[in-house]
């Protein structure tokens, strides 16, 4: 695919920073931006020098979800949105959830529709205090997608999930954090510093173990307690054979800072 400026990509000290970059449209998703973001997450999967991802948006919004101009029924007749979901959104959400490396999401402004649910799919989401989350689907006759019907009830329970999804009322960042939808709301001016510091800290950490931790916590959504205990045993076996475990314990015993390599 040709280079696209709809997603800015920069790798520094193990952190792959991906910035949604259609600020005049509040970073609404068109096909080009989808494909560019996919390239970024595919790189995160295949490139060993990427140890963590930081996802954010350019300008005053994080993402307003699907670009509605791109799916205008006045021009195209009744569109097959299932095809759009299957071709663009679902592959993206699968890439995010299956990446065995931490993903920090810095929500710099409004996150609506798929934009909100993509933020909720990331591993650690922090938001600027001025940011809002909107399940905008209800305003245009759609159902929440990008995993929203899965993540919302799990994160905040059915009552709050239904109220947000059925009313499309905006939820402020502070409340989102208090409810457990995101990790933390921070002052607007501090957002990028905090997000970058967090991503850098994770990238310098034992990322193999962190990736397996992510896998284990996600598996708990479908596993029984016994299945989960067995998964923990298997993952701990692998983690115990990692270079990072050897380094972590050695550094502890030698009373020095560990130098993890993510292997
Ligand atoms: C936009 C958008 C936008 C285009 C702002 N598209 N231009 C999946 C599969 C297939 C199809 C359907 O959907 C999905 C998943 C989804 O994501 S459905 C939900 C789609 N998103 C929405 O319904 C949100 C629509 N946007 C809004 O409600 C507002 O823009 C919010 C509340 C996000 C922000 O409001 P304001 O801060 O007042 O900003 P604004 O409305 O003035 O927007 C700024 C510009 O961005 C404006 O353009 P303009 O040329 O007039 O300055 C908007 O038209 C444009 N924009 N969202 N989704």
Query: Domains along the chain?
Result: 7-203 (3.90.226.10), 207-253 (1.10.12)
Q: What's the rounded Cα separation, in Å, for the pair 202 and 196?
A: 10
The alpha carbon of 9 and the centre of ligand 1 are apart by a number of angstroms equal to 23
Q: Please check the confidence at residue 71 and state whether its pLDDT lies above 80.
A: no
Residue with tokens 């994080």: 62
- The mean pLDDT value for 205-219 works out to 98
Instruction: Please work out whether the CB of residue 60 comes within 6 Å of at least one atom of ligand 1.
Output: no
pLDDT attached to residue 135: 98
The alpha carbon of 92 and the centre of ligand 1 are apart by a number of angstroms equal to 20
Q: What share of the chain is helix, strand, coil (3-state, %, to 5)?
A: 55, 15, 30
By residue count, the chain amounts to: 263
Which one, of 115, 101, 174, 170, lies nearest residue 145 by Cα? 115
Tell me if the pTM is above 0.95. Answer: yes
- The mean pLDDT value for 226-242 works out to 98
- 122 DSSP assignment: S
Instruction: Please work out whether the CB of residue 64 comes within 6 Å of at least one atom of ligand 1.
Output: yes
Q: What's the rounded Cα separation, in Å, for the pair 83 and 86?
A: 5
pLDDT tens digits, one per residue of 86-102: 999 999 999 999 999 99
Q: What's the rounded Cα separation, in Å, for the pair 172 and 175?
A: 6
Instruction: Please work out whether the CB of residue 26 comes within 6 Å of at least one atom of ligand 1.
Output: yes
Instruction: Please work out whether the CB of residue 113 comes within 6 Å of at least one atom of ligand 1.
Output: yes
Q: What's the rounded Cα separation, in Å, for the pair 147 and 185?
A: 22
**Angle at the Cα of 156 from the Cα atoms of 153 and 159, rounded to 5 degrees:** 70
Instruction: Please work out whether the CB of residue 136 comes within 6 Å of at least one atom of ligand 1.
Output: yes
Longest dimension (CA), the chain: 68
Mutating to test ligand 1, I would choose from 34, 87, 112 the residue with most ligand atoms within 8 A of its C-beta, which is 112
* Residue having the nearest C-alpha atom to atom 46 of ligand 1: 25
pLDDT attached to residue 2: 56
Q: Please check the confidence at residue 72 and state whether its pLDDT lies above 90.
A: no
Q: Work out the pLDDT band at 119, boundaries 50, 70, 90.
A: very high
pLDDT tens digits, one per residue of 59-69: 999 999 999 99
The alpha carbon of 152 and the centre of ligand 1 are apart by a number of angstroms equal to 21
**Angle at the Cα of 138 from the Cα atoms of 85 and 141, rounded to 5 degrees:** 70
Instruction: Please work out whether the CB of residue 151 comes within 6 Å of at least one atom of ligand 1.
Output: no
The alpha carbon of 25 and the centre of ligand 1 are apart by a number of angstroms equal to 7
Which atom of ligand 1 is found nearest the CA of 71?
11
pLDDT tens digits, one per residue of 26-37: 999 999 999 999
Which one, of 176, 165, 111, 172, lies nearest residue 139 by Cα? 165
What percentage of the chain reaches a pLDDT higher than 90?
Answer: 95
pLDDT attached to residue 76: 75
Q: Work out the pLDDT band at 74, boundaries 50, 70, 90.
A: confident
């Amino acid at each position: 695919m040709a280079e696209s400026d709809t997603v800015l990509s920069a790798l520094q000290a193990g952190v792959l920073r991906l910035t949604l970059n259609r600020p005049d449209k509040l970073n609404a998703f068109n096909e080009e931006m989808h494909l560019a973001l996919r390239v970024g997450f595919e790189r995160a999967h295949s490139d060993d020098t990427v140890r963590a991802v930081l996802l954010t948006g350019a300008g005053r919004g994080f993402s307003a979800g699907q670009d509605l101009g791109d799916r205008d029924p006045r021009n195209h007749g009744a569109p097959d949105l299932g095809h759009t979901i299957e071709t663009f959104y679902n592959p993206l959400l699968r890439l995010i959830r299956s990446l065995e490396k931490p993903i920090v999401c810095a929500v710099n402004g409004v996150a609506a529709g798929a934009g909100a649910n993509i933020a909720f799919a990331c591993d650690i989401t922090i938001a600027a205090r001025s940011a809002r989350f909107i399940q905008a689907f209800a305003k245009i006759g759609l159902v929440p997608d990008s995993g929203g019907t899965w993540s919302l009830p799990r994160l905040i329970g059915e009552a709050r999930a239904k109220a947000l999804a059925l009313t499309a009322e905006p939820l402020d960042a502070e409340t989102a954090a208090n409810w457990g939808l995101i990790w933390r709301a921070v002052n607007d001016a501090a957002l990028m510093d905090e997000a970058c510091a967090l991503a850098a800290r994770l990238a310098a950490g034992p990322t193999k173990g962190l990736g397996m931790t992510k896998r284990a916590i996600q598996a708990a959504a479908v596993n029984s307690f016994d299945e989960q205990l067995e998964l923990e045993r298997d993952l701990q076996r692998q983690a115990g054979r990692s270079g990072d475990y050897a380094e972590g314990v050695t550094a502890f015993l030698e009373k020095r800072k560990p130098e993890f390599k993510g292997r």
